[in-house]
Amino acid sequence: MTFHLGELFCGPGGLACGAIQSKVGNNKICHSWASDYDQDTCKTYIYNICPNSPKSVICEDVRKLDLSKLPKFDALAFGFPCNDFSVVGEQKGFDGTFGPLYQYGVEVLRLHQPKWFLAENVGGLSSANEGKALGIIIKALRDVGYRVYPHLYKFEEYGIPQARHRIIMIGIRDDLPYSFYPPSTNSYKNIDNTCRTAIEVPPIAENAFNNETTKQSPRVVERLSLIKPGENAWTANLPEHLKLKVKSATLSQIYRRLDPNKPAYTVTGSGGGGTHIYHWKEPRALTNRERARLQTFPDDFKFIGSKESVRKQIGMAVPVKGAKIIFEAVLKTFAGIQYDSISCNINL
């Protein structure tokens, strides 16, 4: 069976790349259509996912789309924008610009009734709007005809070289006789998912896409040279002239150097000085290709746009290998194949 996948808020293609890599017996997933509002993001998606069908990517604000006229599809993926639910931001939840956008995914499900869906958002969704946001979203998904299986995935437990925690909900249409269970982490316990291995093995080719270095100021170089692996600007023993004078921002990511013997901390898509993720040995920020490796994109996946645009695309994506693991669990579910699984850790 081939599931034709439609995507809202598709991003650069982390979910799509994981989906089209997934295969269980004769069961697989192929691209049908995708939508996003950012032009660079859409160009990246087209280049890597569907170069032969560029018109299948709709580059438009979801609020302007005629959702009733989308191409045919069997499954829907939507990583609805997380800005208003992220613990890094102001956590405006439903009161923000992006919080209500999940409703467009719900409406697509109501109109088209695909067999299943995957919805993704940040772990902070569980605490947004005084802890009520997730329950409201799940109820809306159930009300349009789906059994919903929400789970907080800690991707570093699945062999991904990054501590990235995301709520992912699998939904199966009510009339279908399947129940979904998150895949177990047992088979990933002995995988070397340190950031050193992810970035250095194999070495990144000199002509690799998106591998331009950032020129650091002498002051930043001096500061980083005194920050040990795993430390940040607040925990390092810095002389007075190199300390940050910002009282309101004590985020642990600020000038934080990677610990080469652990997975990376979360790759983000935005932020000012000091938030670019810093090499454990060299006094510099990571290149976008190094960040992409932490997100498990293959090296031949080319991001299109300025360096900051590419940084944003990488940071907003779902780790490719993490997506593949979850999609393959869905394919096994529909194929009736048992797999090592666990119970959902979110019960609403």
Give the number of other Cβ atoms within 10 Å of residue 19's Cβ.
28
User: 110 near 42, Cβ under 8 Å?
Assistant: no
Residue located via tokens 């490719």: 320
User: 37 near 59, Cβ under 8 Å?
Assistant: yes
Q: What is the DSSP code (8-state) at residue 327?
A: H
Cβ neighbours of residue 79 under 8 Å, at least 6 residues apart?
9, 10, 11, 15, 119, 120, 121, 316, 318
Q: Would the CA dihedral through 239, 244, 246, 250 be positive or negative?
A: negative
* Bridge partners (DSSP) listed for residue 116: 75, 172
Instruction: Write out the two tokens for 118.
Output: 């995957």
50 annotated active-site = no
User: Which residue from 257, 317, 278, 312 is spatially nearest to 122, judged by alpha carbons?
Assistant: 317
User: 170 near 238, Cβ under 8 Å?
Assistant: no
User: 307 near 288, Cβ under 8 Å?
Assistant: yes
Rounded to whole angstroms, how far apart are CA atoms 232 and 22? 38
- Select which of 10, 42, 50, 82 is catalytic: 82
Q: Give me the amino acid identity at 278.
A: Y
Buried b vs exposed e over 213-227: b needs ≥16 C-beta within 10 Å? Answer: eeebeeebeebbeeb
User: 166 near 318, Cβ under 8 Å?
Assistant: yes
Rounded to whole angstroms, how far apart are CA atoms 18 and 322? 7
Rounded to whole angstroms, how far apart are CA atoms 234 and 102? 36
Catalytic positions are: 82
